[in-house]
Amino acid sequence: MKKGWVHGAALVSMFFWGFSYIWSKIVFETYSPLTTIFLRLIVSFLFLISVLIISRQNERIQKQDYLLFIVSAALNPFLYFIGENFGLSLASASLSSIIVATIPLFAPIAAWYYFKERLKKINLFGLIISFAGLLVIILNKNLELTANPLGLMFLFLAVASAVFYSILLKKLTTRYKPLTIITWQNMLGIVYFFPLFLFFDGRHFISVIPDFKTVSSIVLLGIFASSVSFILFTYTIKNLGIIKSNLYTNLIPIFTAIFSILILGEPFTFQKAVGFIIVISGVILSESGKVIYKRKLKKSQIL
């Protein structure tokens, strides 16, 4: 019964993260990516701080960890959301989700460099396969980019930010609960984004009257994509472990592709479908290799 709840929590979190690209695209019709991020973080922070207060799980941040929180929040949500949302505004939802899905491929490289964790051949092989898939998607027959180059740069900024963020997150999770980390990092994200929002989008925000579709999408982004999904995925990691839980993240581009076709009417060509399958295969191969390696390691320890 418990396993069913765990796998269900993983699926629901992937569903909401997959849908977040659609909700963001809807909001972009009214607001800029900057305003979208700022409002999304406010909704998420208010929701999470309410959960902390009601559940009485609030933790005091130690002074020696202030800098760690400040720097980690600069990476995620600040730089990550800038990369993801501005990239999403210049590229299709399906392509954006596929590029962001390559984060688990780069994380082992960062772990090898900073923590001296063993980097296996399967990780590099999976990375090469996924890159080949990305090239199939973004290049035409004449080897010319079919996607906006600036959009791709923003999306890979999101990937890089997430990878470096995972390094700092590893330190924070040994000292604080995930709910505490997410809540206060979102609060810091609001502080980071406020001057930019005020300078670039302040006048436009005041002059625009959003419709119900826009407001509801912002609320859904803040509560489900930036809050509930993180809580559910943390629950999944606690019960399945990081390696097995990360296998579920491969569902995000699949959900996004389906929603993009059904809701946004995005074209999904045969070339994109082939590239999509290659990218996801590379990620699955890399993650599955970790599971096999871990099982072999346990058996060798028993023997």
Q: Which pLDDT does position 303 carry in this prediction?
A: 43
Q: Which pLDDT does position 65 carry in this prediction?
A: 94
Amino acid occupying residue 142:
N
Q: Which pLDDT does position 1 carry in this prediction?
A: 55
Residues 276 and 284: their CA atoms lie apart, in Å, by: 12
Q: Which pLDDT does position 142 carry in this prediction?
A: 66
What are the per-10-residue average pLDDT scores of the chain (303 residues)?
80 94 96 97 96 88 94 95 96 91 77 68 77 81 78 94 84 85 94 96 95 97 93 80 71 88 86 85 70 50 46
Residues 16 and 19: their CA atoms lie apart, in Å, by: 5
Q: Which pLDDT does position 15 carry in this prediction?
A: 95
Query: 209 by DSSP, 3-state: which?
Result: coil
Q: Which pLDDT does position 300 carry in this prediction?
A: 46
Token pair, residue 23, equals 């909700």
Q: Which pLDDT does position 260 carry in this prediction?
A: 92
Amino acid occupying residue 139:
L
Q: Which pLDDT does position 302 carry in this prediction?
A: 47
